[in-house]
């Protein structure tokens, strides 16, 4: 076999993937702080989460520009082309995950410093948060290792998040007549909804892993026609 060529381009492509998947590490850090802020109604920490989203947005813009440069100058094809197309999706998901953390951080001050709280619902929210953080880590691992099975398993892990989300909804309805408690419950529903969306973004990244490996772009699950996973 002849010697490898285009080593500079290959190095650029590798760096692009590292920078993109590094975006998921930023999300993971942000998510930890967001969960901490929820648990302790920490308004200052929530403000830090909002300010720090610029780092994730910056990474998104940086990777986006690098992708444009590679497309314009290197004319990638085959697996390289699929990888670059997938990284564009991955970064969009990373950016959306960051935004969901901001959405959560923005509602934390609404509940005040010492809100009434329902421990059962709070427990579900925290469990959801940990599960979502695990999904973020799993989707990164799946992509980095090109592991389709691990990526497909994200659907199963995301079902846990979806169930907890439904549980939160039921709890928010049953939370009682106290107006402040209801306000807190509804706010926590918004938090649960944002966490649930982050889980979906992690599954989207898993679908991109399968695309890079197989060349077929299929949703693992069709939200509008629920059924067994396809593709």
Partner 1 sequence: MSELTEERFRERAEAPGNDAGDGTSAAAGGSISVQPDEFHHARDIGELEKVFELESLSVSYAGVPAVKEVSMDIYKNEVTALIGPSGCGKSTLIRCLNRMNDLVPTAEVTGRLLYHGEDLYGPKVDPVQVRKLIGMVFQKPNPFPKSIYENVAFGPRILGMKGDMDEIVEKALRGAALWDEVKDRLDSNAFGMSGGQQQRLCIARCIAVEPDVILMDEPCSALDPISTGKIEDLMMELKREFSIVIVTHNMQQAARVSDRTAFLMVELDATEQNRWGRIVEYDATEKIFTNPGDPRTEDYVSGKVG
Site for partner 1 in 118-147 (CB under 8 A): none
**Which of the ranges 4-12, 106-114, 164-172, 219-227 carries the binding residues for partner 1, by CB under 8 A?**
4-12
Residue 130 CB, shortest distance to partner 1, in Å, is 37
> Measured between alpha carbons, how far is 184 from 41 in angstroms, rounded to an integer?
11
Residue 83 CB, shortest distance to partner 1, in Å, is 11
**Structure-block tokens of residue 106:** 């923005």
User: Is 186 exposed, middle or buried, given 0-12, 13-18 or 19+ CB atoms closer than 10 A?
Assistant: middle
Per CB under 8 A, 9 contacts partner 1: yes
Under 8 Å between Cβ of 100 and 187? no
Under 8 Å between Cβ of 196 and 175? no
> Measured between alpha carbons, how far is 69 from 88 in angstroms, rounded to an integer?
13
Listed residue (128, 119, 205) closest to 159, CA to CA: 128
Expressed in angstroms, the distance from the first to the final Cα of the chain is: 34
**Which of the ranges 6-14, 49-57, 58-66, 174-182 carries the binding residues for partner 1, by CB under 8 A?**
6-14
Site for partner 1 in 51-80 (CB under 8 A): 75-80
Per CB under 8 A, 224 contacts partner 1: no
Q: Which is nearer to partner 1, 169 or 217 (CB)?
A: 217
Question: In the set 82, 140, 152, 171, which binds partner 1 (CB under 8 A)?
Answer: 82
Per CB under 8 A, 6 contacts partner 1: yes
Q: Which is nearer to partner 1, 77 or 179 (CB)?
A: 77
Distances (CA, A) of 171 to 103, 122, 123: 21, 10, 11
Per CB under 8 A, 2 contacts partner 1: yes
Give the residues lining the site for partner 1 (CB under 8 A).
1-6, 9-10, 75-82, 215-216
């Amino acid at each position: 076999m002849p010697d490898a060529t285009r080593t500079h381009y290959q190095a650029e492509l590798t760096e692009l993937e590292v920078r993109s998947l590094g975006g998921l590490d930023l999300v993971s850090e942000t998510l930890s702080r967001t969960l901490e802020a929820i648990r302790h109604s920490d308004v200052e920490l929530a403000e830090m989460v909002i300010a720090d989203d610029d780092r994730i947005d910056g990474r998104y813009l940086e990777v986006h520009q690098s992708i444009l440069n590679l497309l314009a100058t290197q004319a990638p094809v085959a697996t390289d082309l699929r990888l670059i197309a997938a990284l564009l999706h991955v970064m969009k998901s990373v950016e959306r995950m960051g935004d969901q953390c901001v959405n959560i951080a923005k509602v934390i001050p609404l509940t005040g410093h010492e809100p009434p709280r329902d421990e059962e619902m709070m427990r579900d929210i925290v469990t959801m948060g940990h599960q979502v953080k695990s999904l973020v880590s799993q989707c990164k691992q799946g992509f980095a290792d090109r592991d389709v099975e691990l990526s497909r398993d994200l659907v199963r892990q995301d079902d846990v998040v979806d169930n907890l989300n439904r549980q939160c909804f039921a709890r928010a309805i049953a939370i009682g007549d106290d107006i402040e408690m209801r306000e807190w419950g509804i706010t926590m529903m918004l938090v649960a909804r944002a966490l649930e969306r982050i889980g979906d973004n992690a599954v989207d990244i898993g679908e991109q892993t399968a695309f890079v490996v197989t060349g077929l772009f299929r949703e693992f699950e069709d939200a509008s026609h629920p059924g067994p996973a396809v593709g």
